[in-house]
Structure 1
Amino acid sequence: KEGHSGPTYESLQAVFDLQAFRPAVNLSNPTITNISFTLYAVLGVNEKTQILTTFLWLRLYWHHEFLVWDPDECNGVSRISLPVRQLWSPDIIVYEVDDDVSQACPYVYVNYTGRIRWDRMLRLVSSCNLEIFSFPFDVQNCTFTFGSYMHTRDVRVSPAVTFKEMSLNSKRYLEASGEWEVVDILGETSILQFGIDEWDIITFWVVIKRRPVLYVVNLLIPSSFLMLIDILSFYLPPHSVDRASFKMTLILGYTVFLLIMNDLLPSTANGTPIIIYFSVCLALMVISLLETVVITNVLHHSSMKYQEVPKWVRVVILKYIASLICYRWPEPELQQICQYLGDLHTHLISLQKENELQDQWCHVGYVLDYLLFRIYLLLISCYAMVIICMWCIWINQ
Structure 2
Amino acid sequence: MAASILQRGLCPLQTFTKCVDYRSIARRCLLSSAYTDPAVWEQRPRDAQDLGQLASLMDRTYARKFPVSSLVIARFVDNLSSKEEVDQAQYYLFKFRHSPNCWYLRDWTIHSWIRHCLKYGARDKALYTLKNKVQFGMFPDDFTFNLLIDSFIKDKDFRGACSVVEEVMLQESFERISTQIMSLYALSKYLATKPELSWQEERNVGASLMLAGLKQENSVGFSARLLGLAFIGKVELSRGIHAVFHEMPLIWTSGYLGRALAVMDAVCDFRDVKLSEEVLDHVEKILQDLSVNADGQNVTDTPLEEEDELETQKLPEYINRFKELKERLVSQDRIDSRSLESLVSALTQQMLAACENADIAEYQQTVSVWEAELQQLIQRERETKEKNQKSI
Same fold (TM over 0.5): no
Q: TM-score, normalized by length of structure 2? A: 0.20
TM-score scaled to structure 1, two decimals?
0.20
Choose 1 or 2 for highest CA Rg: 1
* Richer in helix (by share): 2
Between the two structures, name the one with larger relative contact order (CA 8 Å, sep ≥ 6): 2
